[in-house]
Each structure stands twice: as C-alpha cells, then as structure tokens.
Amino acid sequence: MVEHRMVDVNGIRLHIAEQGTGPLVVLLHGFPESWHSWHRQFGPLADAGFRVVAPDQRGYGRSDHPDAVDAYTILHLVGDVVGLIRALGEEQAYVVGHDWGAPVAWHTALLRPDMVRAVAGLSVPPPFRGAQPPLAAMDEMYGGRFYWNYFERPGVADAEFAQDTRTTLRKFFHWGSGDAPHAGEGRQPLVDADRGWLVDMEDPEVLPAWFTEDDLDALTESFSRGFTGPLNWYRNIDRNWELTAAWHGARVTRPALYIYGDRDVVPAFPGTPELIGQLPGLMPNLWRKPLKLAGCGHWTQQERPDEVNTALIEFLEAHS
C-alpha cells in the first residue's frame, strides 16, 4: 500500500508518497500535477523490488508553498531532491521526472552525479543550455504569446486558473492528451493574454479512459491552495539560465533514458525535434535511443502506464 508522510527537506516540508523496499526511486511530477500522477507506477516498481517515493514538489499539494518567487529556482528544486534522498537515509537514488519534473531530474544528475544511480526523463529532453535567456527568446519569437511568457506575468494566470480549479485541470488534461483534436500536429501553445488560455480550450464531456473522475478529484484537491507556487517555477526560467552558466556545455553523464509521446506538444517546441534526433550522439550514456510512444500525448506515464512501467523497470534493473 502507498503510505504518506511529511519530510523536512532543504528548509521546507515536503509531502511524500512511498511504497516498497529496495533501491530508492524518486519520481518527480510536472505541471499541473502532483504525486498522484505516478500512482500507476507505484505497484509495478515496488513489485519489481524498488522503494518508490513521489513527493509533492515545492509549491504543490500538501508540501510547503514558499511566498518568494525566487524560492523556486532550479537550484532550490535540485536541493529538494538531494535533501530528500538524504532524509530517506540513502546516499544515492534513481531519479525519474515528467514535464517540469524532468528538468529537475536531469539537473540533479548534472549537478550531483555522485547521488544519481541513473536518470530518466519523460516528455522533456535533457538540458542543453542555449545562448540566450529562454523567456526572452520565446518573447522575441512569438511576440509574448508563448505560454511561458503568459505565465511570467504576476497574478494573471494564477487568477484565471483559480476561477474554477476543476474545470481548469479538466481542460488542461484533455488539451495536452493524445486524445485531443489536432494533437501531434506541431502546434505551439500560444496565448492571447487579453483573453486568457482556457477560453479556447475544449471542455470534454467525457474524460479519457486513463484519467478518471477520481483522478480529477485527487488533482483538484491538491490545488486547493492555488496555482501561484507552481507558476513561480516558470517565473524563474531566465533566472535558471543565469544560475546554470557554470554548466554551459556540460552533459549528463549518468545512465539515462528518455521517453516521449508522438502527440505531445513539448517535443514539438522550437528546436526540440532536432535535439531529440541528436541525443544518441550528445548523451554518452543514453541507454537506448529515445523511446517514442505512438498515439501518446503529454501525460506520458498516465496515458501509457504499461509501456512506461516496462521501460522503466528494464532500465532500472539494467543499472542495479
């Protein structure tokens, strides 16, 4: 059974879910999600002989929500993972992340390779620091309409999303899924700041089979404190670029696995398809070529749990 508790980590308290015994596997969720996005991974990974732990990351769910925007930098987030591994009595862990959790996992492996047995990322590929700040680059490319730039505006997306949390999450999960109309057509997530993002998102009458009303209930409850903490992650994107200058050109050297859906909007971001194609040459310890899941949208481990679980278990066992 999955058990829940609070852990003191890196100056804050994190809520964690855990199951199983054996080598530690830390599962890091993305936006707008919670530990619950991994609930289909707990049983299979625990049965395979691993100790599975998924936190609500800082700003999410029952974990602490620091007020300061700059309390959500990539160094804070990596620090939380490092502190969590230590707090759980371990020296090393396998680190797996989806969406925003993937950059946290990749950067944990990049900054603290001594603590990472192996690393896997879902949806978001490994980081290769660009020549200019990302928010500024997207602002220039799309005239401020890229969703990162919309999220950057203090209080704006926060208010829009909090008007009806359940509807917001229902729309997001449908919009980003492989079941949505036009998924996988190379569209970019552009927002008219005057109208907001949700107004043009379809509100499905029926949820996809992999995302139940119970899943939506759990997710809605986890956002009872609003969206500001999670949105603050985006407000640090350029600050993260500045903070990681010392690692410009550095590559993740730990054993690595990358999984993505062919109908996911993120791998279609500008420059990302080219990066994914080059990963086998760029990543010295990429375990296999990137695993592309047919018909899968953004919510990788929820839309394709069996395929993701099989790939993760094979990867973890190969690096035990």
Active-site pick, 80, 99, 215, 264? 99
3-class secondary structure per residue, the chain: CCEEEEEEECCEEEEEEEECCCCEEEEECCCCCCHHHHHHHHHHHHHCCCEEEEECCCCCCCCCCCCCHHHCCHHHHHHHHHHHHHHCCCCCEEEEEECCHHHHHHHHHHHCHHHEEEEEEECCCCCCCCCCCHHHHHHHHHCCCEHHHHHHCCCHHHHHHHCCHHHHHHHHHHHCCCCCCCCCCCCCCECECCCECHHHCCCCCCCCCCCCHHHHHHHHHHCCCCCHHHHHHHCCHHHHHHHCHHHCCCCCCCCEEEEEECCCCHHHCCCHHHHHHHHHHHCCCECCCCEEECCCCCCHHHHCHHHHHHHHHHHHHHCC
Q: Closest by alpha carbon to 142, among 185, 186, 192?
A: 192
Beta pairing class for 12-19 and 3-9: antiparallel
- What span, in angstroms and rounded, lies between the C-alpha atoms of 212 and 230? 23
- What span, in angstroms and rounded, lies between the C-alpha atoms of 319 and 24? 13
User: Is-catalytic flag, 139?
Assistant: no
User: Is-catalytic flag, 99?
Assistant: yes
Token look-up 């994107």 returns 237
Residues annotated catalytic, as ranges: 99, 298
